[in-house]
């Protein structure tokens, strides 16, 4: 491959990374682009998980040669398998130089465990990751090039490209080119990770890790599009954590935060029983659960279990819970805001009546407290939120 062709290959790879809309898509584009640029038959992109001391496969592309193992996506490998024998974890590079790609020559035909010599440039002061000889021997590839993905002087991951036994073996020039490709790849992948993190923060409640109000609005609008198209039942459960102020006043705000975190975990656990669900914190002591595809009765049963479990939390006074579902007679729901108003009105009724269970918009309710202007215990009234 001439210089012009290689420049075009780098440009194609950069454009593919720029078009990717997620870290996973960027990893797939990186594997496909690197394989094509290096005329390989198979390529894989690894992410170094520093805390676990493992390399995890983000994506692969192409087909491995006969006898060569595929790296399963999302599988991971410990240092003794893919790193320098001895398993030293990479902590960064010093000496003003970064590691270059290296070649793994083709295995000797017919050998069960052929001896190979890996061509590696000298890297003074480097204690970084290199694919082990044994690992590549087991893969029995016709030859491979391995390029460390380095960002800000620290190992980010690895790029692996191999060729079939009948292909032209990799040469030193290929290793140099792989190093250049690796710089493009790691920049694109790191940028996608940063964008994904920003998107996550924009849609995530920082205290509980649940979705936030923006995530709820988006989830409801997407679910209601399905409802308008094919009648998918869309439901919303709104919960208010009772007794938060008393916990804050008596035990401090850290205790109050722990109560919110515990209830958030409970909401996520129980909400997972519903299809198309999203657990979220709307703000303060108010939480919600959206569902798309579960029947109204299923949602009510989940809300009942949620109330029972919340009443057993070590602090707080349970929850007030309201439910609104397009599967109940609540009239047309043309927006997520309307469904939220319906569920919120039901939740307000549950709080005012100190109901131990959920109040459901569009259904008869049984009030559990005798307060002025409200139903007496056992008295049945029809309630419909507006």
- Domains contained in the chain, number: 2
What was the pLDDT predicted at 153?
A: 78
**Do 301 and 233 fall into the same domain?**
yes
82 Cβ partners below 8 Å, 6+ apart?
A: 46, 55, 129, 131, 132, 135, 158
Tokens 């007030």 belong to 320
| 371 within a domain of the structure (yes/no) | no
Element (H, E) at 158: strand 154-162
- Give the dihedral sign, CA 100/105/106/111: negative
Residue 380 lies in a domain: no
**160 shares a domain with 277:** no
The verdict on residue 26 lying in a domain is yes
Cα separations in angstroms, 113 against 72, 110, 133, 139? 22, 9, 11, 10
Question: What's residue 34's pLDDT?
Answer: 93
Q: Say if 177 falls within a structural domain.
A: yes
- Judge if 179 and 242 occupy the same domain: no
The gap between the terminal CA atoms of the chain, to the nearest Å, is: 70
Beta bridge partners of 22: none
Which CATH number goes with the domain that contains 36? 3.30.450.40
Query: What pLDDT sits at residue 107?
Result: 53
User: Does residue 62 lie in a domain region?
Assistant: yes
> What pLDDT, on a 0 to 100 scale, did the predictor assign at position 144?
86
- Pull the structure tokens for residue 170: 């990799």
pTM of this structure: 0.54
Question: 351 and 255 in one domain?
Answer: yes
- 249 and 349 belong to one structural domain: yes
Same domain, yes or no: 271 and 154? no
183 Cβ neighbours under 8 A, 6+ residues apart: none
Q: Give me the pLDDT at residue 268, please.
A: 92
Taking the C-alpha atoms of residue 161 and residue 152, their distance in angstroms, rounded to an integer, is 23
| 197, 221: one domain | no
Q: What is the pLDDT of residues 51-62, one digit of tens each?
A: 777 888 899 999
Element holding 296 (H helix, E strand): helix 296-311
Q: Do 64 and 180 sit in the same domain of this protein?
A: yes
Tokens of 73: 């996506």
> Is the separation of the CB atoms in 233 and 294 below 8 Å?
yes
In a domain, 132, yes or no: no
Strand order in the sheet with 76-77: 76-77, 54-62, 42-49, 154-162, 144-151, 102-104
Sign of the CA dihedral running 293, 295, 299, 301: negative
Helices (H) and strands (E) in the chain, counts: 10, 13
303-310 long-range CB contacts below 8 Å, 24 or more apart?
Answer: 303/237, 303/357, 303/358, 304/357, 304/358, 305/270, 306/237, 306/239, 306/266, 306/267, 306/270, 306/271, 306/358, 307/356, 307/357, 307/358, 309/266, 309/270, 310/239, 310/241, 310/263, 310/266
Do 192 and 218 fall into the same domain?
no
Half-sphere exposure of 358 (CA within 13 A, CB side): 31
Whole-angstrom CA distances from 2 to 5, 13, 61, 128, 192 are: 5, 17, 23, 31, 30
Round to whole Å and give the CA distance between 194 and 125: 30
Boundary of a domain, candidates 155, 174, 201: 201
Q: Show pLDDT as tens, one digit a residue, over the chain (386 residues).
A: 667 788 888 888 888 888 888 888 889 999 999 999 999 999 999 988 877 778 888 999 998 666 656 667 777 765 444 333 333 333 333 334 556 888 877 653 333 333 333 344 433 333 333 433 344 444 445 688 888 888 877 888 889 999 888 888 899 899 899 998 998 998 888 888 788 767 777 778 888 989 999 899 999 999 999 999 999 999 999 999 998 989 988 889 899 999 999 999 999 999 999 988 999 999 899 999 999 999 999 999 999 999 999 999 988 899 999 999 999 999 999 899 999 999 999 999 999 999 999 999 998 643 333 333 334 334 433 333 33
Pairing mode of beta strands 359-360, 319-325 = parallel
Query: What pLDDT, on the 0 to 100 scale, is given for residue 135?
Result: 45
Query: DSSP secondary structure string, 196-241?
Result: HHHHHHHTB-TTT-SB-HHHHHHHHHHHHHHHHHH---EEEEEEEE
Contact assessment for residue 266 and residue 313, using Cβ atoms and an 8 Å cutoff: yes
Look at residue 317 and tell me if it is in a domain. Answer: yes
d(CA 374, CA 386): 18
Domain shared by 179 and 320, yes or no: no
**Other C-beta atoms within 10 Å of 287: how many?**
31
Shared-domain flag, residues 229 and 182: no
As to burial, measured by CB atoms within 10 angstroms (0-12 exposed, 13-18 middle, 19+ buried), residue 122 is exposed
Q: At what angle do helices 253-271 and 296-311 cross, to 10 degrees?
A: 150
In which domain, by residue range, is 222 found?
213-360
Q: Is residue 113 included in any domain, yes or no?
A: no
CATH number, position 306: 3.30.70.270
In degrees, rounded to 5, the angle at the alpha carbon of residue 196 between the alpha carbons of residues 14 and 179 is 35
Are residue 310 and residue 165 in the same domain, yes or no? no
């Amino acid at each position: 491959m001439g210089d012009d062709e290689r420049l075009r290959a780098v440009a194609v790879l950069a454009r593919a990374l720029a078009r990717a809309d997620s870290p996973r898509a960027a990893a797939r584009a990186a594997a496909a682009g690197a394989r094509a640029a290096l005329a390989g038959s198979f390529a894989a992109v690894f992410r170094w998980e520093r805390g676990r001391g493992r390399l995890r496969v983000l994506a692969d592309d192409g087909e491995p040669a006969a006898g060569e193992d595929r790296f399963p996506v999302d599988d991971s490998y410990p240092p003794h398998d893919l790193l320098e024998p001895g398993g030293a974890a990479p902590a960064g590079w010093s000496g003003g130089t970064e590691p270059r790609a290296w070649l793994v020559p083709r295995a000797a035909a017919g050998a069960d465990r052929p001896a190979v010599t890996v061509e590696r440039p000298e890297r003074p002061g480097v204690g970084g990751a290199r694919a082990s000889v044994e690992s590549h021997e087991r893969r029995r590839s016709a030859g491979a090039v391995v390029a460390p993905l380095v960002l800000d002087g620290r190992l980010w991951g690895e790029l692996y490209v191999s060729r079939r036994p009948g292909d032209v073996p990799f040469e030193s020039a290929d290793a140099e080119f792989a190093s250049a490709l690796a710089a493009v790849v790691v920049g694109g992948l790191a940028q996608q990770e940063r964008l994904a993190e920003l998107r996550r923060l924009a849609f995530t409640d920082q205290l509980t890790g649940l979705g936030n109000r923006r995530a709820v609005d988006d989830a409801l609008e997407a679910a209601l599009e399905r409802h308008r198209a094919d009648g998918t039942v869309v439901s919303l459960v709104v919960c208010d954590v009772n007794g938060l102020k008393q916990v804050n006043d008596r035990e401090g705000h850290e205790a109050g935060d722990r109560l919110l975190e515990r209830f958030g975990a409970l909401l996520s656990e129980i909400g997972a029983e519903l299809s198309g669900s999203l657990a979220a914190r709307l703000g303060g002591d108010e939480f919600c659960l959206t569902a798309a595809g579960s029947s109204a009765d299923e949602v009510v049963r989940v809300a009942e279990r949620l109330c029972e479990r919340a009443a057993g939390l070590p602090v707080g006074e349970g929850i007030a819970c309201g439910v609104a579902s397009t599967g109940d007679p609540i009239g047309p729901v043309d927006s997520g805001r309307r469904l939220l108003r319906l569920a919120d009105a039901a939740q307000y009724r549950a709080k005012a009546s100190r109901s131990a269970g959920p109040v459901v918009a569009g259904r008869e309710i049984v009030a559990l407290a005798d307060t002025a202007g409200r139903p007496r215990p056992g008295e049945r009234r029809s309630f419909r939120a507006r």
